[in-house]
Amino acid sequence: MNQEVFAALSDALQQGEEVALVTIVSSTGSTPQRVGAKMLVFADGRTVGTIGGGCYENDAFWKAREAITNRRPLTVAFELNDDFAQETGLVCGGQMEVFIEPVEPSPAVYVFGAGHVGYFVAKMAHDVGFRVHVVDDREKFANSERFGDGIDVMVDHIPTWIEGHRLPPTAYAVIVTRGHTHDLDALRALTANPLRYLGLIGSKAKIKRIYDALLEEGVTPEALRAVHAPVGLDIGAITPQEIAISILAELIAVKHGKITDPSVAAVSMRWEGALGKQALGKQQ
């Protein structure tokens, strides 16, 4: 049975799916499954394997789905009492402890723009374990020889590429194109997709102009509150390398749950007033 679980886990990681692995780590008395039994739970509710069935497996299932969302492991203890025995028909009277471990593939980061900042973001992100994809319409900048092995480089019109590729909700997207119009087009296309991280480079004045344009087009204030803009942590970065470090630091912070809600991050504080006024105006 565990062989089936491991095969499903391998397939899930290859396909970029988030799952949680539930394992019996200790048991005493009479239990329906032995230590080491495993169940794999997918974000959409599918399961592979079993830890014994019954109400306690159902409880573990829901805790596993929470673990996928929260991206934090947990240990849960179960008392297999008479109620469980009556429900399942099994003779049980023991205790069992399970470890629930969320497992996710190496996160994918999409870098839109292959200029100097985009180059260093892609290289650094690859070095720390992200699966990196770079998109730019300039072959002079977007080519495999420049970025090296392990980084997927596409030469295409950025909005067209985005419209033809649905990014998974676990993806990270960084907009670092060569100009205001390209940034606007990329952000317009990306706000339609739920993403784990969406960052936009630029000065506060440029970002305000982009936000104003998108709000006029009907993009919701909620969608823009989810954008990290200006992109990266404020470390006083000036050079392309320093800016890339600030962006990568923010990606890592999101990856490890140090920034859990973009709407509560610095973005919200910078733009809450303007977005709130815009939303109020639309309601009047």
Sorted by sequence, the CB contacts under 8 Å of residue 52 that are 6+ apart come out as 24, 31, 32, 33, 37, 96
Is the predicted pLDDT of residue 215 greater than 80, yes or no? yes
Mean pLDDT of the chain, nearest integer: 86
24-33, 110-119, 135-144: which range is least confident on average? Answer: 24-33
Is the predicted pLDDT of residue 271 greater than 70, yes or no? no
53-62, 161-170, 176-185: which range is least confident on average? Answer: 53-62
Domain boundaries along the sequence of the chain: 2-103, 108-283
Say what the alpha-carbon torsion angle 29, 33, 104, 160 is, to the nearest 10 degrees.
-150
What is the biggest distance separating any 2 CA atoms in the chain, rounded to whole angstroms? 71
- φ/ψ of residue 37, rounded to 5: -65, 145
Q: Give the pTM.
A: 0.76
User: Helices (H), strands (E): how many in the chain?
Assistant: 11, 10
CB atoms closer than 10 angstroms to residue 235: 12
CB atoms closer than 10 angstroms to residue 83: 11
DSSP code, position 264 = G
Pick the CATH number of 108-283 from 3.10.20.30, 1.10.10.10, 2.170.120.12, 3.40.50.720: 3.40.50.720
As a whole number, mean pLDDT of residues 38-67 equals 91
Q: Which token pair is 137? A: 């319409």
The span from the CA of 75 to the CA of 261, in Å, is 25
DSSP code, position 128 = T
